[in-house]
Structure 1
Amino acid sequence: MKRSSKIISTLLVGATLTTMSSKFFAVENKEAIEKKILSGKDRYETAIKISSKWDKADNVILINSMAIADGLSAAPFAKHKDAPILLTESDKLTESTKKRIKGLGAKNIFVVGGEAVVSKEVVKEIEALGTKVERISGKNRYETSVKIAKQLNFEKVAVVNGVTGLADALSVAAPAATNDMAVLLTDGKNLGEVEGMVKGKETFAIGGEGVVSEALVKDLKAERLSGKNRSETNVKIMEKFYGKEDVKALYIAKDGSTKENELIDALALGSLAGKEGAPIILTGNDLDDTQKNYLRAQRNIKTIYEIGGSLKENVIRNIVNILNGKEETSTKPTENNGSSIKPTKGNESSTKPTKGNGDSIKPTEGNGGSAKPTEGNGGTTKPTEGNGDSAKPNPGTEGPNNKNLIDRNKSSIMEVHFVYYAVLSLNEGNIDNCKVYIDGNLAKSEKVNTSGTILKIELKDSNKKKIKVVKGDLEDSVTLELKM
């Protein structure tokens, strides 16, 4: 993570677990806004820094650092147990996490996810510390969310998409924890395993129609909380559950719009933010206009917490300036003034699936039983058949085009759980009668749908790629870039 030397120096001074670096922003005629940084050298130590708000804790929630889906429902349970959320590797207990468990004096460790996510070996290491271990898991992420919900006494439910609505789910984690609300995962179309948990409950559907279908919302008689992108959904949730006068602190974390694995910091934060009744604002490289408007309406925020230390300096400065009523005038062109099409930040929550939705390639289940975790495991993620047709990623820059073999509106480079893919939609032919070249080299491609009109090619990096498709004596070329 890149930081200014000043921030690095501050962090070095505050090397103990209970120390947080702070800055004060003096403001004319207003109290100073204090900025604190909760950040470590990696995701494990960032979670430990977040846990520094607990001097001691009888209970700890332990989650695989790569299995984001497993942890989505954990925040309300963690708050219920007054427990910090710590992270571990799948096959061994991360050393820094082990030390923190000891330091907290934890008596009970609740492991979220099956043995493929947090192995028996990890459990044995924890038990060797003299700590009781209880595993909460189901055969998949949906059933795991049900098992967690059964630990709670709840009257409200947030229904989220457990595959393509990860950022949306994390937006609701803190208010769900504060309000003792269960977070239940679905596929966005069917209730499946969670059906028995929502009857008679006040229900909120988190995300737009591209994430949670209108039919499901009507079936649930749910209130939909959504915007046109993940940033707007984030604001809708904050406006619903936090009054203007109630918010005295604000947590700021990455929204995963560039890299999904960046959401893990917000995941570890859910319990603390829920405990303190503070919202989490999820942001990318800049603030969304709706987020700016939300900040302008706040009256009592005195402290902001930067989580992970990798947020853009301009984002933090902008937040402070808005809270202080001293906004900077931007000279940057608006997003829609150029010839290039910019995708919305984080399209999981869009009312209609937006261009660039890498999450529409559905990963295999990965959180319970013997299934391998898919959230960031670096392995091959096989999309389910037929789902590629719903993807509308950001089109690339057109190259030579003798025949429109490639559908530019449905082709892009995507990152799916730490693996880069070129995803192509073919207007004519299929993978069986076409050859695909990447930067002049013949590429091995795989079918995404049964007809073979959607295909993917695993890439070594996310650099811009020149893609050529050849069918007989016809060829079509396009230059694709990673959606941001």
Structure 2
Amino acid sequence: MSKRAKMAFTLIIILAVCGFGIKFYLDENYLSQYNRKQIIGLDRFETMTKISEIGWKKSDEAVLVSIHSVIDGVSASSFAYQKNIPIFFTDSEEINSTVKDEIKRLGVKKVYLIGGDKVITNDIKKELKKMNINSERIGGESGFETSILLAEKVNKLNPISEVVLVNMRSGKPNGVAIAPAAANRNIPVLMVNKSDRKETLKFLKEHNIKKVYLTGSETAFPDVFEAMLKDEKYGIKADVVRLNGEDRYETNKEIIKEFYDLDKINHIYILRNGIYNYGDLLNALALSPIAAKENTPILYSADSLQKTEEEFLQESNVKNITEVGFELVRPRIITDKIIRFISSITIVVVWILALKRIIYNR
């Protein structure tokens, strides 16, 4: 092997070793300024079971929601918190075996089925009966009607004076983000479509609501509708707070700023944003009664914390983070793809040099 070839080979080896070394160091030290914990199961059902294990040793009651109905999960959060009971999600026609085992462990005697029988079927009711568990359905013809029924339940447990309104079509992430804060303050969340606004005004008037939180832009809740909430002509004169950012991340942070004292936040739950996986939002809703109990906010994130989220945590002086349903990973400056490329080049060069040496020796 020539001197030049040996130098090239040595350089490639050094680059490969340095690449692996730098990657390992960066991975090990990512977010090392925080005390990190994780609540992660093999799937969404095991994750919500782990959440339940943290929150309850025993519970006579529980809430059961279809995995296909985030809106019902949002509406149920304040009710579950007031009752101090866990929220579980399951398939519409059969209770997941992991969830069923957790219900047995808790010693549940009664389950509240959230949503109409098309959302969570009577097969679930029959399955619970076989387990000697009573059930009560809280469900209307629509997500809006279900949220009204749940708001009435919350009001009976503890009279309400404030309400959160969430646009049913575009506002699901906003509803999930605000659920723990609303629950902590005994505020029901109404999931509203355009066609439901008249009934919404009626509910606010009947319950003498003094404050309304609108989550979302003017597209979700037009200024005309906001004006109605303040107009005595409609029998309502509420203070209105609109919580809206450029995207779900920014709206999430606006919610935290509104409901929490940033100087006193020491712990925050980090959850995936639900953009690519609808099921990620279910983790946040299963967590919401516990987050409400602790008065701890949830913060949306991608697989890695973005710059704006990192800055927000620093401004809030947060020291403890809990990743729920996933593990935050370092943004890949030196990606696995680059590492594999360097390794492949190294192998090819080694084979070429070895082959040349064999031919030369002949």
1:197-247 superposed Cα distances (whole Å, 9 cap, x missing partner): 223321000011222222222222321011111111000000000002332
Q: Is the 8 A contact 1:50 1:269 kept in 2?
A: yes
Residue 42 of structure 1 is matched in structure 2 by 43
1:352-395 superposed Cα distances (whole Å, 9 cap, x missing partner): xxxxxxxxxxxxxxxxxxxxxxxxxxxxxxxxxxxxxxxxxxxx
Match of 1:307 among 324, 344, 361: 324
Q: Which has the higher contact order (CA 8 A, sep 6+)?
A: 2
Residue 251 of structure 1 is matched in structure 2 by 269
Paired AA for residue 329 in structure 2: E
> Per the alignment, do residues 216 and 42 of structure 1 end up closer, same or farther by CA in structure 2, a change over 3 Å counting?
same
Verify: 1:177 aligned to 2:183, yes or no: yes
Deviation at 1:192, TM superposition (A): 4.0
Verify: 1:293 aligned to 2:311, yes or no: yes
Residue 322 of structure 1 is matched in structure 2 by none
Match of 2:87 among 85, 101, 111: 85
Instruction: Select between 196-205 and 136-145 the one with higher mean Cα deviation.
Output: 196-205
Q: Is the 8 A contact 1:60 1:109 kept in 2?
A: yes
Residue 215 of structure 1 is matched in structure 2 by 224
Alignment of 1:57-76 (within 5 A): 57-76=59-78
1:23-49 superposed Cα distances (whole Å, 9 cap, x missing partner): 99765xxxxx33221121221111111
Q: Give the whole-Å Cα distance in 2 for the aligned partners of 1:224 and 1:289.
A: 25
**Bigger helix fraction:** 2
Residue 344 of structure 2 is matched in structure 1 by none
Deviation at 1:286, TM superposition (A): 4.6
Alignment of 1:153-192 (within 5 A): 153-188=159-194, 190-192=196-198
Residue 349 of structure 2 is matched in structure 1 by none
1:72-131 superposed Cα distances (whole Å, 9 cap, x missing partner): 211111100101111111111111111111101112211101111211111121122222
Paired AA for residue 167 in structure 2: N
Paired AA for residue 40 in structure 1: G
With normalisation by structure 2, the TM-score equals 0.74
1:403-449 superposed Cα distances (whole Å, 9 cap, x missing partner): xxxxxxxxxxxxxxxxxxxxxxxxxxxxxxxxxxxxxxxxxxxxxxx
Secondary structure of the corresponding residue to residue 200 of structure 2:
helix
Q: Give the whole-Å Cα distance in 1 for the aligned partners of 2:189 and 2:93.
A: 27
Alignment of 1:274-423 (within 5 A): 274-287=292-305, 289-299=307-317, 301-309=318-326, 311-314=327-330
Aligned-residue RMSD, C-alpha: 2.4
Residue 357 of structure 1 is matched in structure 2 by none
Secondary structure of the corresponding residue to residue 188 of structure 2:
strand
Residue 258 of structure 2 is matched in structure 1 by 240
Residue 323 of structure 1 is matched in structure 2 by none
Q: Give the whole-Å Cα distance in 1 for the aligned partners of 2:218 and 2:225.
A: 9
Secondary structure of the corresponding residue to residue 181 of structure 1:
coil
With normalisation by structure 1, the TM-score equals 0.56
Q: Give the whole-Å Cα distance in 2 for the aligned partners of 1:146 and 1:190.
A: 11
Alignment of 1:59-138 (within 5 A): 59-138=61-140
Paired AA for residue 83 in structure 1: I
Gaps of at least 5 residues in structure 1 are: 1-22, 28-32, 318-329, 332-484
1:310-329 superposed Cα distances (whole Å, 9 cap, x missing partner): x54127x9xxxxxxxxxxxx
Residue 150 of structure 2 is matched in structure 1 by 148
Residue 363 of structure 1 is matched in structure 2 by none
Q: Give the whole-Å Cα distance in 2 for the aligned partners of 1:240 and 1:115.
A: 36
Q: Give the whole-Å Cα distance in 1 for the aligned partners of 2:143 and 2:71.
A: 6
Q: Is the 8 A contact 1:235 1:290 kept in 2?
A: no
Q: Give the whole-Å Cα distance in 2 for the aligned partners of 1:215 and 1:287.
A: 37
Q: Percent identity?
A: 31
Residue 367 of structure 1 is matched in structure 2 by none
Secondary structure of the corresponding residue to residue 264 of structure 2:
coil
Secondary structure of the corresponding residue to residue 263 of structure 2:
coil
> Per the alignment, do residues 101 and 190 of structure 1 end up closer, same or farther by CA in structure 2, a change over 3 Å counting?
closer
Paired AA for residue 225 in structure 1: L
Larger radius of gyration: 2
> Per the alignment, do residues 70 and 107 of structure 1 end up closer, same or farther by CA in structure 2, a change over 3 Å counting?
same
1:130-189 superposed Cα distances (whole Å, 9 cap, x missing partner): 222111000000000000000113211110001111101111101011111110011157
1:243-283 superposed Cα distances (whole Å, 9 cap, x missing partner): 02332321111111223333222122211111111001012
Instruction: Select between 90-99 and 212-221 the one with higher mean Cα deviation.
Output: 212-221
> Per the alignment, do residues 209 and 46 of structure 1 end up closer, same or farther by CA in structure 2, a change over 3 Å counting?
same
Match of 1:196 among 202, 210, 213: 202
Q: Give the whole-Å Cα distance in 2 for the aligned partners of 1:189 and 1:244.
A: 37
Q: Give the whole-Å Cα distance in 1 for the aligned partners of 2:83 and 2:35.
A: 29
The size of the alignment, in residue pairs, is: 290
Q: Is the 8 A contact 2:30 2:330 kept in 1?
A: no
Secondary structure of the corresponding residue to residue 57 of structure 1:
coil
Deviation at 1:287, TM superposition (A): 4.1
Secondary structure of the corresponding residue to residue 260 of structure 1:
coil
> Per the alignment, do residues 203 and 121 of structure 1 end up closer, same or farther by CA in structure 2, a change over 3 Å counting?
same
Secondary structure of the corresponding residue to residue 93 of structure 1:
coil
Paired AA for residue 168 in structure 2: G
Q: Give the whole-Å Cα distance in 1 for the aligned partners of 2:199 and 2:153.
A: 16
Q: Give the whole-Å Cα distance in 1 for the aligned partners of 2:105 and 2:76.
A: 22
Secondary structure of the corresponding residue to residue 108 of structure 2:
coil
Paired AA for residue 197 in structure 1: F
Deviation at 1:303, TM superposition (A): 2.6
Verify: 1:206 aligned to 2:206, yes or no: no
Residue 450 of structure 1 is matched in structure 2 by none
Q: Is the 8 A contact 2:60 2:106 kept in 1?
A: yes
Q: Give the whole-Å Cα distance in 2 for the aligned partners of 1:67 and 1:165.
A: 13
